[in-house]
Amino acid sequence: MDALKVLLERRSIRKYRAVNVSDEVLQEIVEAGLYAPSGLNLQPWYFVVVRTPEKMTQVRAVMSVVALRFNPILQKQFHDHPEVITETNNFLVTLGGAPACVLVYADKPYGAEGRDNVIESISAAIENMQLAAWNRGVGSCWIGAPNHVDCAGLFEAGFAAGRGEFVAALTLGYPAEDPKPHKRKGGRYTMV
């Protein structure tokens, strides 16, 4: 697919078909993450690709703890939109039936470059994976909630002991929903 089309049409997917993503496609996606730009070319990431039903059950168990702790934040932010609270909670607990996900870690201790540099670089890698996935018809959703509710340690101890700091999870699977592309032309920039 044309690169610009992929990035203009990508949407977060929170409902997935019960169809596995092949190892070949998963590898293509995760390797796209390795090609992201990174500050000082540190490539400060470590990825765990989860794709067995047993391990996905383990991920959902941790996300259920996240959902419980995240609820007060949702109640505050979306008190006028109870449907958003329900949807977000359901997604965290079920992961929308995603057959796979990538757990993303910062695997370098921060030196003089600082934490921001590392997190910015890892964010670029996550976006690369989302776009590579969309290019293959695979949907994804970036999940940062665990870090807001002190659950990163559960993903560190449970899936990548000693490999660094948990940053986010990225669900992967063939979409069972079809959100329309955004319309975001103009507005938030100037050309000087």
* Least distance CB 18 / ligand FMN (angstroms): 20
Which residue, 22 or 64, is less far from ligand FMN as judged by CB? 64
Supply the Cα-derived Rg of the chain in whole angstroms. Answer: 17
Do 95 and 101 touch, CB atoms closer than 8 A? yes
φ and ψ of 11, to 5 deg: -135, 155
Q: Cβ of residue 65: shortest distance to ligand FMN, in angstroms?
A: 14
SS (H, E, C) 145-192: HHHHCCCHHHHHHHHCCCCCEEEEEEEEECECCCCCCCCCCCCCCCCC
Q: Which residue is nearest to ligand FMN (CB)?
A: 144
> Which tokens is 77 given?
């932010």
- List C-alpha distances in Å: 50 to 10, 82, 145, 180, 187: 22, 31, 18, 28, 39
Nearer to ligand FMN, 81 or 182 (CB): 182
> Least CB distance from residue 125 to ligand FMN, whole Å?
12
Shortest CB 91 distance to ligand FMN, Å: 5
Nearer to ligand FMN, 2 or 183 (CB): 183
Closer to ligand FMN at the Cβ: 12 or 20? 12
Q: Angle CA(182)–CA(187)–CA(188) in degrees, nearest 5?
A: 90
Place of tokens 């391990």: 55
Reading the block at residue 71, the tokens are: 């609820």
In terms of CB distance, is 27 or 69 closer to ligand FMN?
69
Q: Using CB under 6 A, list all residues that contact ligand FMN.
A: 11-12, 88, 91, 141-145, 182
Give the shortest CB-107-to-ligand FMN separation in angstroms: 19
